[in-house]
Amino acid sequence: MSDETATLLFELGMEELPPGALDDLSDRLATAIAGGLERAGVEHAAVRALGAPRRLAVQIEAVARRQPDRDFERRGPARSVAFDDNGAPTRAAEGFARSCGVTVDDLQTLETDEGAWLVHRGTETGRDTRELLPGIIEHALSHLPIPKRMRWGDQSSEFVRPVHWVVLMLDEAVVPVTVFGVNSGHESRGHRFHHPAPVALKHADDYTAAMRGAHVLVDRAERRNHILEGVRAEGEAIGGHAVIDAELLDEVNALVEWPVVLSGSFDEAFLRVPPEALISSMEGHQRYFPVRDANGHLLPRFITVANIESRDPARVIAGNERVIRPRLADAAFFWDQDRARTLESRRSALGQVVFQKQLGSLADKSERVADLAARYADRFETDAGQARRAAQLAKVDLVTEMVDEFPELQGIMGRYYATEDGEAPAVAVALDEVYQPRFAADAIAASPLGRLLAVAERADTLTGIFAIGKAPTGAKDPFALRRAAVGLLRSLIEGQHPVDLTALLHDAAARQPAGLDAEAQVKPLVEFCLERLRGLYHEAGYGAELFEAVRSVRPLDAIEPLDFDRRLRACHDFARLPAAGSLAGANKRIRNILRKADCTPPAEVDAERLTEPAERALYTAMEERAPAVEALIAEGAYSEALARLAELREPVDRFFDGVMVMSDDPAVQANRLALLQRLQHMFLAIADVSALPDSG
């Protein structure tokens, strides 16, 4: 680095961090320190957020060694009160000068529209960065988002874990600071076992290389990539491919400083257990990566990442194999025990499980969903009997031992148990798909019956929770109703199911327990769903004007999400046509003209009263296209309908260029207003295109 800049290194060494906290704390610390430098006016270059299980570190390049000098101006009292009638300084002037550390003669005058004022101008010399760093570090650490802090020893300070060492350097120089009772220095610590001795850092630039020599990969991205490539290579080496879950990879990355990839095996007899249960055991309990063959079948192998480079890897592998066996044995035991009884025989147990105090048990909820699903079966082209059966069984796997041990397998195990019980394949699949989409990027259910159950289940939950007054408020959404609404809407739209949302929610509300006025909550619930729909389109990149163009023409008591989606996409297509801007502007103009008109236009246009060539041409063009447009609208082909209406651009433009709408003849005026009203209605049958950007 130059004489003007230096590399800054800050490392906080401690006991092993919770794996879920490492990435966030590392990023937040780097952002906070860089922000502190920026607030102090200290320029810098690239910022690196580094970290490992026993350390948080920040390395910043080209940090200016001092603040820049800063010109300042401090305003004092008005001259009218700063000097008496004889021009002598008053106590106000002398006090201001004294506070500035100068004499009254050193003060200057500032002329403003409000009068003249005394001012003190000068240049403040920038402080050395090393003087600023202790305050910046302390502020950054005190503002880290740590929900649960701890004390250690006789310290009164608190942090996420006990702190054992602190490094703070500018190039080769140590910057003195005391953090959590520990003085800064230039010594870090290496791997707990491979390099327990201190690591002396000669220069801040040497950090990552020095730590690598001490068996610690402090670059989180480098360490993660090392693990990823190692796990992939090991999977190929043992004849398969590793199943790499991104969250598990991040967790393992936060647990090891010196990753060493190893593989082990387990008894092939365990493969009779559903693979999802085995994978949950391996990933959730042991943090192992499962392995599949070329056909996607689970192999009796696993990959683990050790935090030590053992001289005897076979012993490490044997230890891991010994640990995983009882976990898999538990899964096999639960599988065998659960299969001893059918799902049907367990249904009665749902009556002992409370869904919500005012809404009854899971058995009550299942029957409500079954009734609703059977009613809407034809809209999803499914069998009503299968819909009822699937809904009655959908929650039963919650009372099995496997799901009690592995809650994340709900639905998945229901599918397996239903298949074992001989239930219809569509019913078995729906027991799993009812939970889709499980998260934002998840797909909706693939089968119509699965989508029907997903919609009915969410409609019951939404109406029930709204009925008991537990609608989401602010950021609080304990029943995940926002996610439920999005899942319902996506299932209807992406599944291409023409279902009236308002009618669906009314039907769901009618099935809620007696004594709850669920019907009264349908309107606010529809509005709630529309806001979720607005959010979906926003995330997909559609402008708010497209949503408003459709929302303004659809009554709240007749919202069909699939139809809404088709209209919005049609507006999106229309907006890209060359004629769109002109026609959007024309519709705005028509709206304003009709609003300001003193009369109500006739319902029909009188063709005989059209005397101007431009108005006759517009009327003819409209009537020629009207039958085709109406037919396309009836089919839901809104994009095609708007494309036909876009052909009206030239006659519309000629009309406004050559025709005076507000004629002195009242009859002519009324007829021209009727013509414009007719044109407006042709567009409003699809959307209010005046909400779209116009060519002006």
Q: In one letter, which amino acid is 602?
A: P
pLDDT for 152 equals: 83
| SS3 letters across 283-308 | HHHHCCEEEECCCCCEEEEEEEEECC
Residues 6+ apart with CB under 8 A from 247: none
**Tens-place pLDDT, residues 109-127:** 888 888 898 899 888 788 9
Confidence band (pLDDT; 50, 70, 90) for 520? very high
Q: Output the pLDDT for position 262.
A: 97
Evaluate whether 236 touches 228 at the Cβ level (below 8 Å): no
CA atoms of 449 and 386, how far apart (whole Å): 8
Task: Provide the pLDDT for residue 641.
Answer: 96
514: pLDDT strictly greater than 80: yes
For the domain bounded by 569-691, which CATH number is listed? 1.10.730
* Residue 228: predicted pLDDT: 98
Q: Of residues 440 and 637, which shows the higher confidence score?
A: 637
Q: What is the mean pLDDT of residues 458-471?
A: 96
Average pLDDT for 479-493: 97
Total length of the chain: 696
Q: For the whole model, what pTM was predicted?
A: 0.82
Instruction: Report the share of the chain in percent with pLDDT over 90.
Output: 82
| Strand arrangement of the beta sheet that strand 70-78 belongs to | 70-78, 115-124, 108-112
Higher pLDDT, 230 or 104: 230
Residue 426 pLDDT grade (very low, low, confident, very high; cuts 50, 70, 90): very high
pLDDT over threshold 90, residue 158? no
- Cα–Cα distance measured from residue 34 to residue 28, given in angstroms and rounded to the nearest whole number: 10
DSSP state at residue 351: G
Question: Which sequence spans correspond to the domains of the chain?
Answer: 5-67+128-213, 71-123, 220-339, 345-541, 569-691
Query: 244-300, pLDDT tens digit by residue?
Result: 999 999 999 999 999 999 999 999 999 999 999 999 999 988 999 999 999 999 999
Decide if 376 contacts 508 (C-beta within 8 A): no
Residue 546 predicted with pLDDT over 60 = yes
From residue 546, alpha-carbon distances to 486, 549, 640 in Å are 19, 5, 17
pLDDT in tens, 591-619: 999 988 877 888 899 998 888 999 999 99
Phi, psi angle pair for 402, to nearest 5°: -65, -45
* 197 SS3 class: coil
pLDDT band at 695 (very low <50, low <70, confident <90, very high): low
Tell me if domain 345-541 and domain 569-691 are identical in fold: no
Indicate the pLDDT class of residue 646, thresholds 50, 70 and 90: very high
Query: 371-402: per-residue pLDDT in tens?
Result: 999 999 999 999 999 999 999 999 999 999 99
State yes or no: pLDDT of 154 exceeds 80. no
Q: Which residues pair with 9 in a beta bridge?
A: 59, 169
pLDDT at residue 696 tops 70: no
Residue pair 65/37 in contact (Cβ under 8 Å)? The answer is no
**pLDDT tens digits, 321-339:** 999 999 999 999 999 999 9
DSSP H or E run through 644? helix 638-645
CATH of domain 345-541: 1.10.3210
Confidence of residue 496 (pLDDT cuts 50, 70, 90): very high
Which parts of 40-153 fold into alpha helices (H)?
Answer: 79-82, 91-100, 129-142
Write the pLDDT tens digit of every residue in 185-238.
999 999 999 999 999 999 999 999 999 999 999 999 999 999 999 999 999 999
Confidence of residue 486 (pLDDT cuts 50, 70, 90): very high
Average pLDDT of every residue of the chain: 94
What pLDDT shows up at residue 2? Answer: 63
User: Are 567 and 550 a contacting pair, CB within 8 Å?
Assistant: yes
